[in-house]
A and B are shown apart, each in its own frame.
Chain A
Amino acid sequence: MRQLLSRTAGLSREDKGLLCGLPIFVLTVLAGWVVWRLTADLDSIEARLITAGNITQMTWDHVQIVVVSSVLVVGLAVPLGTLLTRPALRFFSPPVMAVANAGQAAPVIGVLVLLALIIGFGFGTAVLALSLYAFLPVLANTITGMRGVDQAVVEAARGMGMSSWQVLLRVELPMALPVIMTGVRTSLVLLVGAGAFATFIDAGGLGTLIQTGIIMFRYPILVSGAIFVALLALMVEWVGRILELFLKPKGLA
């Protein structure tokens, strides 16, 4: 706890407010929902669908989709971004950045439906589509972060006798980490939102409640789904911010 507090010292008031405010907000809304669920007058379909067990199961499915895709994305995009900023491959990075920027214009629902039509419905397709979607922001931020490392620092490290691997692992990556982590956090939150569409291709998740609510015209189901997706996204944003604090190298202000 003390370590956490010492790490928040350099943060702006806005960031500190979010660190404390987000969990409080999430817990308040959650408590409000529980009170509503216990007192509301629901019909049989609603009462059967909106149960603690059901929602836990859907949240778990949702989290699985998000976690598997983000592990894939971070595992591939960070090394690729690093590779593209090495001297031998550096000339590749402007065209890759251009493609990455243009690719972000692709609507995730379109990518998801297209992939599902081509390779079939299910969990795997959802993970693949979401990974493609979240890949570009992480790649772009990795390249931006690595490029932003002061060349004088790199040279100083080389001058101290570090090998290029040591420079990469002990100087460049740590210095680029804040920018990379921002990309990862953005992607994670995007993934939670996009995970809500997984239900369209039979991959489950909390979007199921929203879709069922719309189809059966039952607002309690629809709103419950929407609330839980939003709360999950806010929690992920919070976890991302905490991770960012802990991973930031001590030497960087």
Chain B
Amino acid sequence: MIEFIDARWADILFRSYQHSSLVIQSLLLATVIAVALAVLVTSCRRLTPVANAVSAVGLTIPSFALLGLLLPIVGIGTVPSVIVVSFYAALPVLRNAVVGLQGVEASLIESARGQGMSGAAVLWRVRLPLAWPVIMTGIRVSAQMAMGVAAIAAYALGPGLGTYIFTGLTQVGGANALNYALVGTLGIIILALILDALLVLLSRFTTSKGIRA
């Protein structure tokens, strides 16, 4: 095992980098889309149940099935991986952003308007900062899920540590099969834990001072 890691250290690091890069970029994309959608949805009250239903139903669609549905449309490679990972990452963020934005007290929004803030200023300086801790919780849930989904995306020749798991599977009976699968799985767990810790820190530093616990 140690020999195995030693011999492939550079490759393992490179794949870990690819894996995290895929997850983090998809997570960023997903957060921007989800928060924008949530802002849209909470300003039009009728759409809120629709958004919640979409995120509930979306999460039930198995990732392997979505990957299968996307392959004929976008082909093999990085693009389906990014789309699938972003899709799953967007749903928890969407749900939490809706909850967070709805949780902002109406009296606070009114007093902000009363101070002469425009609608956009209220959104940027009052509603989003107050909803941010809830949104960050959603991002943490998404990050953990995205790590696992990215492993599956490797089956469609996407980058990352998932390829190690599938290499282990195809080399069954071979000397290194177990090592490959073990390094792939443990690597993803370690990356997920590191990313989660980083997100906790990020959440602490980006939460507005007034509502920091």
Q: Which A residues fall within an 8 A CB radius of B?
A: 12-14, 17-18, 21-22, 102, 104-111, 113-114, 116-118, 121, 189, 192-194, 196-197, 200-201, 207, 210, 213-214, 219, 222-223, 225-227, 229-230, 233-234, 236-237
Contacts and interface: CB of A to CB of B under 8 A. Distances in A.
A12 B56 CA distance: 14
A187 to B, nearest CB: 12
A213 B61 contact: no
A233 B181 CA distance: 27
A107 B62 contact: no
A226 B65 contact: yes
B190 to A, nearest CB: 9
B144 A105 contact: yes
A237 B59 CA distance: 10
Interface string B137-153: 00000001001100110
A222 B68 contact: yes
Interface stretch (B29-37, B109-117, B164-172): B164-172
B193 A193 contact: no
Nearest to B156: A214
Interface centre among A13, A21, A107 (most CB of B within 10 A): A107
A121 B178 CA distance: 14
B181 A113 contact: yes
Contact of A225 (B63, B65, B192): B65
Interface string B159-200: 000100110110010000110011011001100110010000
Contacts of B66: 226, 230
A114 B151 contact: no
B61 A230 contact: yes
23 contacts: A17-B53, A18-B56, A18-B57, A21-B53, A105-B144, A105-B192, A107-B151, A108-B148, A109-B165, A110-B151, A110-B188, A113-B165, A117-B172, A118-B178, A193-B61, A193-B63, A193-B65, A197-B64, A222-B68, A223-B68, A225-B68, A230-B66, A236-B60
B103 interface: no
B155 interface: yes
B182 A114 contact: yes
Contact of B168 (A108, A117, A227): A117
Q: Which of under 10, 10 to 19, 20 to 34, or 35 or more describes the interface residues of B? A: 35 or more
A121 B170 CA distance: 13
B69 interface: yes
A14 B192 CA distance: 32
Nearest to B186: A110
Given A105-B144, A106-B189, A110-B151, A193 B181 contact: no
Contacts of B62: 192-194, 196, 229-230, 233
Contacts of A114: 168, 178, 181-182, 185
Contacts of B196: 105
Contact of B60 (A105, A110, A233): A233
Given A193-B63, A230-B62, A237-B60, A12 B49 contact: yes
Given A117-B178, A214-B155, A230-B65, A107 B60 contact: no
Given A18-B56, A192-B62, A200-B169, A104 B144 contact: yes
